Structure formats: C-alpha cells, structure tokens
Structure 1
Amino acid sequence: MNFYADKQTQEDLNLLGRYKNNSIAQLFDEAITAGGKKLMDKMFQQPLSDPIAINQRSDTFRYFSELLLSFPFTAVEFAVMEDYLASDGGGNLLQMASGVIYKKILQGIANDSDFELLQSEVLKTIELLNRFYAFVSLLPKSNLAYRDQLERIEKIYAHPSLQWLRGKPEILVFSVSKIIRFDYLFRYVLREQMNELIELIFDLDVCIAVARIGIKKNFCYARAFGKEKNTMKVKRLFHPVLEHAIGNDSCLDQDHNVLFLTGANMAGKSTLMKSFGIGIYLAHMGFPVAADHMEFSVKDGLYTSINVPDNLDMGYSHFYAEVLRVKKVAEEVAASKNLVVIFDELFKGTNVKDAYDATLSITEAFSENRNCLFVISTHIVEVGEDLRGRCDHFKFAYLPTVMEGVVPRYTYKLTEGISQDRQGMIIIKNEGILDLIQS
C-alpha cells in the first residue's frame, strides 16, 4: 500500500504536473529519456509507505549525488535504440532474415531507405550498449545502494550471446548477413534482456536527474522510521520552489502532535504549511527534501485544507465546502489511519463566532488522535489562548510581524507562542483605501 494524498492535497501543494508552472514535479523534471520521465511521474503518483523501501531509494539518490555524473546518452540517440528494440522483429530467424533481405532488395531497385534505416539502428544500438557498459563499469560497487542494479546489468552483459559486444570498435557498415544476425539477436533472442536493460537505463536516468536537483538546490535526504515512532523532526525546512526561502525548524511527536500557528496575513503561514506538506510528500518518495536535516515516521497519507474552493454546480458555499473537507479528513482519522493533516485557517468562510467555536472544538477533537500529526493555523488568536489552557500536547508558534513605523516587515521565522499582531487596519490605511472611498 502506498502513501496517499488526494486530489485536493495535490492541488494545494502543487505537487504533480511536469508542465505545470512552479509544480514540484516540474522542479525535478530533468530526466533525459521519455521512459525516465514516465518513471518519474509514476514515483510522484505513488509515494512509498515502507521505511525500508524509502531509505533504500533515498540512499540510491545519495549515492549518485556523491558521484556527480551526467547521463551518458542524449534524448535523441537513446530514442533511436529504444524505438528499435521496442519494434516487432517479425518472429523467428527465417522470418526476420526474409524481412531484412526484402528491404535490401528494395534499396537496390527502388532506392528504398528501410534497409539503411535498419542498419543505422543496429549500429547505434551496438554503440550505445558499449557506451552504457563502459559507463556502469566505472561506478563504485562497494556501496549497497545501487549494487542490485549493477549486478542485474552485469548479468545481462554476461549473457553468452553478448560476449562479442564488449569493447567492440565503432563500425560504420555491416554486411547483410551480420545485420540479420544482430537484428535477430537484439529483437528476438535477447528481447527479454534488452527490455530489462532499457528499464534499468530509465532508472539510472531518474537517479542521476534527482541527485542533480538535490545538489543544485542544497536539499537533504530524510531518514524514515516505522509508524510506531510517530515523529517528525526537521531543521531549516523551506519551500523548494521559492528563491531565497527562509527555513524553519519543527519537531512533532507522540507527546506533542499538534503545531498550532498564528500570525498576520502575509506573515508566511500558508507558505510554511505548504513547505511542511511538500517535505512530508517528498520524504515518502525517498526524494531529496528542502531542508538541512529531516527524520520522520512513515504515515498512511497526507490531507490538506489550504485552498478549498466553493462548488457552484453542487450549490456548495465556501463554508460548506470547508465543512465537507473537514468531514472527509475526520472519516479518515476515525478509520485509525496514521496521517499528517494540515488545516490553514479553519472555517474562514463563516462569521467569527462560528469560526471560533468550530476551530476550538474541531482542533481539540482531532488532536486526541495521537497516531496523527496536525499543523493548524488560524487568525483567531483567542482560540490558541483557550487551547493552551486546555491541552498540554500542543506546540504554539507564530510568524512575527515587525513594524517599522507604519510599514510591516515579515521575518518568516517561527517563534514560540501565540501572535498578538494586529496590523490589518494599518495595511488598509497604508493603501489609502479609506481616503479613496471618502473622496
């Protein structure tokens, strides 16, 4: 079973979509091959929930980050080999030989290019197979992280029918008989081995791409633990897409499973919560995380409520959409799932009194599920004061606003406690809105 994040969560955190502006998937979209890109998409769609598998994958990425390698093929030349090996060879040796001879005859009598194309594909495949073997032969084998893949590659190249390949010099042209022999070998005799090798090349492509992003962005590799530990510790966590993002530390566990955030608008609460959610998601993928250090207990899933839209087609107001979202999360929590839950400004679609009562009761009720971790924010600081008097397993923090005269400045640094900032009217006056209306 994989780690789960529903569509709302994916949208809130802008996780998926290689072509989506500023998405996390776009950030890591540096795979060279089409198959590598598809594998990367699959990893994003299916995060892991097994700590052993997570740590093994992150160790593999770390292994490549220490080697500083570049992928040995261009997208164009690899596509030639990939398309050739994936094409139908036509069955047994007699059928394949007949097809090659037919193409050779057409080349002579009709100036047909099919034989020339087949010859170039066979030659390119031999060249790339040699290049790939030379590349992986230089990879250190002492590290356990990538040893299994290296052994599988070695086994393929050790096949008796491929002994001639190693170190073969570059050849510009083959006779018809050799074209038949090699075409039959690659697309029929060794079809299963070639398919496995292609998949291993896709995997290598992803490993190099992810490691390169981790280095370029100065990300860390998180360490996963079993569910029973129920902890999440992170140092200098920041948003991976923002330039010059400010990092913050956080620590949640069984005894303190709720981070309750307050602070003014624009102080950075939503960005902090998105950073937290993205970090959790990437950590469950085994990908590098935007932080200096992170360790966490694996969870069953992640649910956020940050940008909940109304639904005019269904007749749902913004408030009712929020209620349904909270109900959905409550059902998942009630099913004894180990979750990370992020609520940004609960019930902002209703009046202050209802929002106060609902935020207080819902937050307190959720927090009793000690197998889950919660990050909850609100503008209603009085809720925080009440919860601080009633709950000893909360961590209260805020993002300060520093007033420089009548101009607010935001530090984006978490501070312990509950915010007392009240700058809303100052910002309104600074923008001259009242003067515009009165004039």
Structure 2
Amino acid sequence: MSFLIDKQTVDELNLMGKFRQGSVSHLFNRVKTRGAEQLLDGMFRHLLVDAKAINRRSSIFSFFQSARLVFPFDVQQVTLMREYQDTATPGNGLLVLGDTLVKKMLSSLTRDERYKKMVQGLQATIITLQKCNTFVQSVPAADHAYADRIHAVQQILAKKELMRLRETDIYQSLPVKKLSYYNHLLKTVLNKEMQELLNFIYEVDLYIAVSDVARTKGFSYARALAPEGNLLSAKGLAHPCIDKAIGNDLELSVQDNVMFLTGANMAGKSTLMKAIGINCYLAHMGFPVAATEMIFSVREGMYSSINVADNIGLGYSHFYAEVVRVKQAAVAAASGKRLLLMFDELFKGTNVKDAYDGTLAVTREFAGYQECLFIVSTHIIEVAAALNEEDNVQFVYMPTVMEGLVPRYTYKLEKGITEDRQGMMIINNEGILELLNAAD
C-alpha cells in the first residue's frame, strides 16, 4: 500500500524540488554524495504507511543526531569507487587477467586511460574500505536502531579477502596479476557485498545530513500509531521552512476530527494549514518534524485545496476549479481510506452568499467521514455559528490584535470563533479611498 497524494497537494505544500529555495526537500538536501541524494529523493517520493517502519526510521535519525557522527568519507574517492564497481569486467578470472594485460599494454602504446582509471578506482576502493572500517568501529556499541546494519557491514569488512585488501599500500605499484585478481574479486565474487557497502555509505551520508538539520533547527521526531486511532496531536507545531516560525498546539481525534479555522485575511490560516500538512508528510517519512512533540495515527493519504487557480486550458473559472477540487476530495473521502484533507477558504471564487452556503454544506457532509481528519478554514465566520450543532467539529481561530488602527497578528491558535473584521479598516489605513477621491 502506498501513501496517496496528488501533484496539486505536493505543489501547494512546496514539498519537492531539492534545488528550489523554500521547498521542504531543499531544506533537508545537505547530503554530500550523489547516492545519498537519490536516496533522499526516493524517501520524499515513497512515504511509509506502517507505524513500525516509521518509528524505526525515526529512531535511526534520532540515534545519529544524539551520536553526533561526522561523515568520514572523501566524496571524490567514493565516486571513483562507484565508477570502478560499475565498469564492466569479464566474469571469468582468466579473462579478467587477459583484459587487464591488454589495457596495460594499450596504456603504454596509446593514450588509452582505462588502465589508469582501473588503478585509481582500486586505490579509491582501498581508501574507502579503510575509512568504512574505522567508522563502524567508532560507532557506539550500545543497543540502538542502527546496530543491526552496523553489524552487517562489520561482517562484510571482516571477510579475509577485504581485510588483506585494506592492508594494501596504495602507493606501491600492484602487479598486473594482483590487480586483475582484485578486479575479479570485487566486481564478480563480492559484487553484492561491495554494493551493500556503497549503499551503507549513502545511508550514513543521508542520516547524518538530516539529523544535523534536525539538531540545528530544533526539530523533534513524531511517534506513529496504528491508523485506527485517528489521532493527530502536536505541540509547538510550526512551518519547518520559516525561520523563527511561531509554534501552535493542536489535536484532531475521533471525537473532534474536523477543525474549523477562522480568522482575518493575513492572520496566518494558510501558513498553519501548510505547516500541518508538511509536518504530517515528514512524519510519514520518519523524518524530523518542526514541533516539540507530535503523535499521529498513520494516514493512507493527504489532500489539500489551498491555492486553487483557474484552468484556462480546460476552460475552468476559479470557482469551477474549486468545485472540481472539492469533488475530487469527496471521491477520495468516500473511498473509505483514512486521509488528511485540508481546505483553505472554500469557494472564495464566488459571491459571499454562495460561499457561505457551499462551505456550510460541504463541511457538514465531510464531518460524516469520521475515519478521516479535516481542516477547513474561512473568513466567513457566520458559517461557524451554523456548525455548532455538529458534535465532532472543533472551532479554532487565528486572532488579530488591534494596536490603535493598526492590526497585529499573533499567529497563535486559540479556541473559539473569531470576531475580527478588519478588512475595511486596512483599506482605510492604506488610503485607497483618498487616492481615488483625489483622482476624481
């Protein structure tokens, strides 16, 4: 089973794009090797949907963070080792010897670089194996989530052939026969083991990079529960990509699975919604989250409607695009899957009366799917009063504090329904009417 999420949700939460400033992927892309970069991309694209697997990965990150391990490998040497392993070689030992002799002869007669690269690749492999052995010996021996992986690597490095290879002096010229022997050994006999060692190096790179981000940012690790609990609880939850973001406490459960969020424009509703979605996504990766504490029941997918735009190609107006998006969410909710669904300012592309009626009707219907968790925001506060009869709807708001005629936004979530109506005041503060009158 895979975690369901569509392109619009990925784009709205700015999850992907490891080279794009401000994206969640970019935040964690501090790896050094190409292999670790590919591993990071795979984790972002394929989320975990098993609580045990999520908690195990979180435990590994937590171990690396507490151990403060430093990446010990030379990236250039790892790259040369990777290229050396990927270079094709005959499967038979005698054929490897003949191939090596031919390459050495060609290197003497022509400008053929293959023999030189072969020697450099083996030298890089020896150096990397030495550093790998030193690293695994330095890892704390106490019981931890990564202990089995460390032990497996130690067993590979303990093979007598690799022990002899690690002791080889790379500054002395190797006889052709010995060079061909190691070519055959590493690329054929122990090819699987060498691939495992390279994968281990990439894992270490990733775990160190991500745990360093967690330590620098003050992130923590969420605890995953079985899906049936239908719980999402967090303390100090904030947007991970915003420096010094203000954290908020929240809880969604079976009894209160619908969060109805009100507040004035610019009060922080959209940012809070994105923060919830992003941290829920990271939690399903087993990654650190921007919260002091987070507990969640595993979801089967996530669906958002935050920045819906018109679609000229399909002839959709803004409002119709919103309707289509809500329909897609309704189909997903009706499928019986346990989802997190988020809607920001429903039906803002139409008049206030229709927006009121639509928001009220849709929220009431969604509230009936108690195996899902919903967050609905609006600045049409009259909808909240009409939803009071729904037992599983909780009301929260982002307040606005007036300092004279100037609004200040606290970005701190509070229980209840806002009474803030500062739209006309902001228009007056900006002097728009005076400018228009002067133009007349």
Same fold (TM > 0.5): yes
Structure 1 unaligned runs (5+)? Answer: none
Q: 1:108 deviation in Å? A: 2.5
Q: How far has the Cα of 1:159 moved from its partner?
A: 2.8
Deviation at 1:143, TM superposition (A): 2.5
Aligned runs of 1:178-327 on 2, under 5 Å? 178-327=178-327
1:27 partnered with 2:27:
yes
Contact 1:232 1:251 in 2 (8 A): yes
Residues 78-106 of structure 1 show CA distances to partners (whole Å, capped at 9, x for unaligned) of 11111111111233112221121112222
Q: Give me the whole-angstrom Cα distance separating, in 2, the residues matched to 1:224 and 1:265.
A: 34
Aligned-partner Cα distance in 1 for 2:308–2:95: 60
Shift, 1:331, TM fit: 0.7
**Is this contact kept in 2: 1:65–1:212, CA < 8 A?**
yes
Q: Partners of 2:302 and 2:45 in 1: how far apart?
A: 13
Contact 1:119 1:173 in 2 (8 A): no
Aligned to 1:403: 402
After TM superposition, the structure 1 = structure 2 runs for residues 32-43 of structure 1, keeping only pairs within 5 Å, are 32-43=32-43
The 8 Å contact of residues 254 and 370 in structure 2, kept in 1 or not, is answered as: yes
Contact 2:235–2:250 at 8 Å: present in 1 too? yes
Are 2:126 and 2:166, in contact at CA under 8 Å, matched by a contact in 1? Answer: no
What is the Cα deviation at residue 112 of structure 1?
A: 4.0
Counterpart-to-counterpart distance in 1, 2:109 and 2:167: 36
2:56 equivalent to 1:87: no
User: In the TM superposition, what whole-angstrom CA distance separates every residue of 1:289-342 from its partner, at most 9, and x where no partner exists?
Assistant: 000000000010110000111111111111111111111111111111101111
Could you list the per-position Cα deviations for residues 12-40 of structure 1 after superposition, in whole angstroms to 9, with x for gaps in the alignment?
10001112221000000011111110111
In the aligned structure 2, how far is the partner of 1:339 from the partner of 1:107?
Answer: 62
Residues in 2 aligned to 1:46 and 1:111: alpha-carbon distance in whole angstroms: 45
Deviates further, 68-77 or 207-216: 68-77
Residue 435 (str. 1) matches residue 430 (str. 2): no
Uncovered stretches (5+) of structure 2, i.e. residues with no partner: none
Tell me which residue corresponds to 1:348. Answer: 348
1:264 Cα deviation after fit: 0.7
Q: Verify the 8 A CA contact 2:341 2:375 in the aligned structure 1.
A: yes
Aligned to 1:393: 392
- Work out the CA distance in 2 between the residues paired with 1:304 and 1:257: 16
Q: Deviations for 1:266-298, whole angstroms, at most 9, x for unmatched residues? A: 110000000000010000000000000000000
| Amino acid across the alignment from 2:27 | L
- Is the CA contact (8 Å cut-off) linking 1:130 and 1:168 kept in structure 2? no
Instruction: Judge conservation of contact 1:130–1:165 (CA < 8 Å) in 2.
Output: no
Residue 50 of structure 2 is matched in structure 1 by: 50
Contact preservation (8 Å) 1:4, 1:47: no
1:169 Cα deviation (Å)? 5.2
1:159-170 mapped onto 2 (5 Å cutoff): 159-166=159-166, 168=168
Residue 223 (structure 1) shift: 0.2
Structure 1 residue 53 displacement after superposition: 0.3
179-188 or 378-387, which deviates more: 179-188
1:261 maps to a residue whose letter is L
State the distance in 2 between where 1:162 and 1:76 align: 21
Distance 1:167 1:98, change over 3 A: closer
CA distance in 2, matches of 1:105, 1:381: 83
In structure 2, the residue corresponding to 1:48 is in which secondary structure? Answer: coil
Secondary structure of the 2:16 match is: coil
Name the TM-score, length of structure 1 as normaliser: 0.97
Cα distance in 2 for residues equivalent to 1:432 and 1:173: 81
Cα distance in structure 1, aligned partners of 2:330 and 2:222: 28
Question: What CA distance in whole angstroms lies between the structure 1 residues aligned with 2:223 and 2:73?
Answer: 32
Deviations 1:19-75 (A, max 9, x none): 222100000001111111011101000111100000000000001001111211233
Partner Cα distance (2:92, 2:2) in 1: 42
Calculate the aligned-residue CA RMSD, in Å. Answer: 1.4
Alpha-carbon shift at residue 8 of structure 1 (Å): 0.8
- Which whole-Å CA distance do the structure 2 matches of 1:424 and 1:330 have between them? 32
Aligned to 2:423: 424
Do 1:141 and 1:150's aligned partners in 2 also have CA atoms closer than 8 Å?
Answer: no
CA 1:318–1:279 in structure 2 vs 1: closer, same or farther (change >3 Å)?
same
CA offsets 1:212-260 (integer angstroms, 9 cap, x no match):
1111111000000001111111000000111110000001111011111
Greater CA drift, 143-152 or 330-339: 143-152
For 1:110 and 1:250, how far apart are their aligned partners in 2? Answer: 71
Describe the SS at the equivalent of 2:379.
Answer: coil
CA separation in 2, counterparts of 1:279 and 1:347? Answer: 26
Please give the alpha-carbon distance, in whole angstroms, between the structure 2 residues aligned to 1:157 and 1:244.
Answer: 45
Say whether residues 1:158 and 2:124 are aligned partners: no
Q: Is the 8 A contact 2:340 2:372 kept in 1?
A: yes
Q: Distance in 1 between matches of 2:96 and 2:170?
A: 24
Contact 1:229 1:297 in 2 (8 A): yes
The residue type equivalent to 2:13 in the other structure is L
Q: Which letter maps to 1:84?
A: Y
SS of 2:165's partner is: coil
Aligned-partner Cα distance in 2 for 1:319–1:70: 52
Report if aligned partners of 2:63, 2:144 keep a CA contact under 8 Å in 1: no
Partner residue, 1:414: 413
Does the Cα contact within 8 Å between 1:232 and 1:252 map onto a contact in 2?
yes
CA distance in 2, matches of 1:167, 1:257: 62
C-alpha deviation, 1:165, in angstroms: 3.4
- Contact 2:401–2:407 (CA<8 Å) still a contact in 1? yes
Which digits, 9 at most, give the CA deviation of each residue in 1:134-189, with x for residues without a partner?
Answer: 10111123334102211221222233432313555554432222211212211121
